[in-house]
Chain A
Amino acid sequence: MSAIARSAQDGATLLAGLLLTAITITAAVQAPVSPTDNERERGVSIAREADRRDSGWRDARVEVRMILRNQHGETSDRFLRSAWLEVPGDGDRTIVIFDRPADVKGSAVLTFSHKSGDDDRWIYLPAVGRTKRVASSNKAGPFMGSEFAFEDLASQEPEKYVYRHVRDDVLEGASVWIVERDPLDPRSGYARQLVWYDQAEYRPRKIEYFDRKNELLKTLTYDQYERVDRFWRARIQVMVNHQTGKSTRVEFGPYRLGSGLTLADFSVERLSATR
């Protein structure tokens, strides 16, 4: 066998091997499989450790700009302010106040996340002058016309998912774990999600969202991480919808952690007074 022929055969073997590996990885990544106990335990432990490392900031405030881009490349802006409060033994409480577009200026949404069951949500609309309970149905619905669904923005409590460690990988030069998480809520818009956690700091670097037909729907990437006190916060998040070609870029201002917000600041009674 000539050197060229041997080289070609080696190449074919290598190619077949690579192809087989790729198929195996693709199958592992794309098809929901019954996780082994080991995969489940590793997945849960990574998610819990990520959650533990991101606990203890008490409360947080940040100003946010969302840039919505449609399939034609046209953009529109949303400006809002967010505040969070950690609640021991329960999910976070969140207030989002809208500044722009101008017709929703002053509207505020208060969410009580829970470790199990539906989140509670109220909305204050200044035009109506009333705080209204929101019946929580459309978790998969877009937030303000963006590519973020309400459930993407809700507090990501580990208790809301079933986890599975898929494999170790490298992402942009950093060692990562790929963990699959399947929402327990039957009304979630997703069959499953794949989260890339960096091994150094347990930060999510990328999330792929698969729709109910198990087809890739969206990819969220985290960028420009910076340390605020001992916590990591991404200044940029970009969500790309692969099925529509639309995308949303979120730019976060400086985070203020532990500024002394209390449960009363996150109460339904005071939502109308929040500005």
Chain B
Amino acid sequence: MSIRCADVLFLWLILIAIPTRGSTQPTLGGSVEVGARFFPSEGLSAPQGQFFPVFQGTLQTARGSEHHRWRFNLFGRADVRDRRSSHADVREATWAWLPNQTWEMRGGILAEKWSFTESNAVVNVVNQRDQLEAPNGDARLGQPGVSLAIRLPAGRLTVYSLPWHRSWRFAGAPGRFRPPTELDRPETARGTAAYAARWDVRARRIEIGLSYFEGVSRDPAIETAGAAYRVIYPVVHHTGAQLQLLMGPSLLKLDIAHVKPREKASFIGFTLGGEWPLTLGAADLTVLAEFTYDQRGVQAPTGLDRDLLLAARWNPNNAAGTEATASTMIDVRSGAQMLRAKFSRRLSATWRWTAEAHALARQRRGDFSYWLRRDSFVQVAIARFF
């Protein structure tokens, strides 16, 4: 957490503590999770460990009144083997002012997820990826900023000012999910502001979003410079569109983006797919299929350029809240695969245990994710929620 984030957090905590007329009592929740993560393969470099205790936690609090809302989400991980992997991040700390049913203003540390698709997020441009939590593709760092939303006769328009930029961060020498050589420090100034706008509208069977972003890109361009990698965060004009259609019980989804980096050629990327729910007695089985295309090919910093996701999510709707997912992400060009399985079950009203396995197979030299080829792992953890 940067000092600036800490300042914002402090101010936010003062705000939430101020009693306002008609406000509700703050709600408090979160979790503490302990477990073990084991990598069967040795890392690419000697110091990389194979066994890592898991110790992580979340804290959420929220409060509301007629015209004000406060929200605070904190995530933290302690890594006894790798100091750089130990980190805490304010995922969200916002104060929202809702003077009437037309306007809404928010400020603080924002969390914005615009994408409809699951496997990639070519349209999520506000929040930076949390690379320290790399296996969890949904993990995003909090983004300082303010937003102003207005309800229009059709849909809603939101404009954003995002005053500074956060870069990718990787684990230290003993950690995993990191490139084999140190990435150089990005040259981008943190104070570089970005601006964004999004219009979204929904009807019974369709949801549409159109977005525009101008500023320093969240995704870097990574160039090889001899044995090292050079990280450049270009200024980009990013235009995105999101579409979700409900067809019977199925959801069809499209996220598409056109990106024009300054002084570089533009490119497009999209993720197209859907989810199909099936009923098996009391249980739900949801099948997902998505295809991602990125015109940059192997230069795409997500490692996803022509990749197909096939996944199944099983939920027996039982009292223990059992959930199981299995997925494979296949690079249709190289044949590289990432297989994931996760099982989770409630032990009591406050305890839940989780087992998961991630396996990388057939990674080819030249793929961006080639450096992750020995980072298959299994993890078992138990979480106490409060």
| A contact residues vs B (CB 8 Å cutoff) | 68, 70, 76-77, 100-106, 114, 117, 120, 126-130, 133, 135-138, 140-146, 187, 262-264, 268-269, 273, 275
Contact partner, B321, options A77, A103, A135, A263, Cβ 8 Å: A103
B214 interface residue per 8 A CB criterion = no
B274 to chain A, nearest CB (A): 9
Interface residues of B (CB under 8 A from A): 24, 27, 29, 31, 58, 60, 62-64, 69, 71, 73, 91-92, 96, 101, 111, 113, 138, 140, 149, 156, 202, 204, 207, 244, 246, 249-251, 275-279, 282-284, 286, 317-321, 346, 349-350, 352, 383, 385-386
A126-B73, A129-B113, A133-B251 known; A106 vs B60 contact (CB < 8 Å): yes
Q: Say whether A141 contacts B251, CB under 8 Å.
A: no
A137 in complex: contacting residue of B69, B92, B284, B386, CB < 8 Å: B284
Residue in A105, A128, A133 whose beta carbon sits within 8 Å of that of B246 in the complex? A133
B349 with A145: CB separation less than 8 A:
no
User: Are A140 and B282 interface neighbours, CB within 8 A?
Assistant: yes
Contact of A129 among B111, B156, B283, B349 (CB under 8 A): B111
Q: Can you list 12 A-B contacts (CB < 8 A)?
A: A68-B319, A101-B321, A103-B352, A105-B27, A130-B113, A133-B246, A133-B251, A135-B249, A135-B286, A144-B319, A145-B317, A146-B319
**Contacts A105-B385, A275-B27: A76 and B318 contacting too (C-beta < 8 A)?**
no
Most A CB contacts (10 A, CB to CB) among B138, B317, B346 go to: B317
Contacting pair B318 A145 (CB below 8 A): yes
CB pair B317–A262 under 8 Å, yes or no, is: no
**Given pairs A105-B385, A145-B318, A145-B319, 8 additional interface contacts (CB within 8 A):** A101-B350, A126-B73, A135-B286, A145-B317, A273-B64, A273-B96, A275-B27, A275-B64
The answer to whether B138 touches A138, judged by C-beta atoms less than 8 angstroms apart, is no
Number of A-B contacts (CB under 8 A): 106
Cβ–Cβ contact A76 & B319, under 8 A: yes
Cβ contact within 8 Å between B202 and A273 = no
For A120, list chain B residues within 8 Å (CB). 204
Question: B275–A135 contact, CB under 8 A?
Answer: yes
CA distance A264 to B102 in the complex (A): 9
Task: Find chain B residues with CB under 8 A from A114 CB.
Answer: 204
When chains A and B are docked, how far (Å) is the Cα of A126 from the Cα of B113? 12
**Max chain B C-beta neighbours (<10 A), residue from A101, A120, A127, A146:** A101
B155 vs chain A, min Cβ distance (A): 10
- Are B319 and A70 in contact, CB atoms less than 8 angstroms apart? yes
CA A104 to CA B207, docked complex, whole Å: 26
Tell me the nearest residue of chain A to B62, going by C-beta. A275
Instruction: Determine how close the nearest CB of chain A comes to the CB of B90; give it in whole angstroms.
Output: 13
* Given the contacts A77-B349, A106-B62, A138-B279, A145 and B250 also touching, CB distance less than 8 Å: no
CB-nearest residue of chain B to A149: B282
Structural contact, A133 and B244, CB atoms closer than 8 A? yes
Quote the shortest CB–CB distance from A118 to chain B (angstroms): 8
8 Å CB contact of A275 from B63, B149, B251: B63
**Contact call B204/A141, Cβ cutoff below 8 A:** no
A103 adjacent to B346 (CB under 8 Å)? yes
CA distance A105 to B349 in the complex (A): 11
The answer to whether A141 touches B284, judged by C-beta atoms less than 8 angstroms apart, is: yes
Q: Give Cα distance in the complex from A120 to B203, angstroms.
A: 10
Interface centre among B31, B63, B249, B352 (most CB of A within 10 A): B249
Q: In the complex the two chains form, is B319's CB within 8 Å of A103's CB?
A: no
Partner of B71, one of A104, A187, A273: A273
Chain B residues in 8 Å Cβ range of A127: 58
Q: How far is the CB of A71 from chain B (nearest CB, A)?
A: 11
Taking CB as reference atom, which chain B residue is nearest A100? B349
CB pair B249 A102 closer than 8 Å: no
Q: B283 contacts A141, CB within 8 Å?
A: yes
Pair A104/B91 contact, Cβ less than 8 Å:
no
Q: How far is the CA of A129 from the CA of B73 in the complex (A)?
A: 9
Closest CB in chain B relative to A115 CB, distance in Å = 13
Q: Which residues of B contact A126 (CB under 8 A)?
A: 29, 60, 73
How far is B279's CA from A100's CA once the two chains are assembled, in angstroms?
26
Chain B residues positioned under 8 Å from A117 (CB to CB): 204
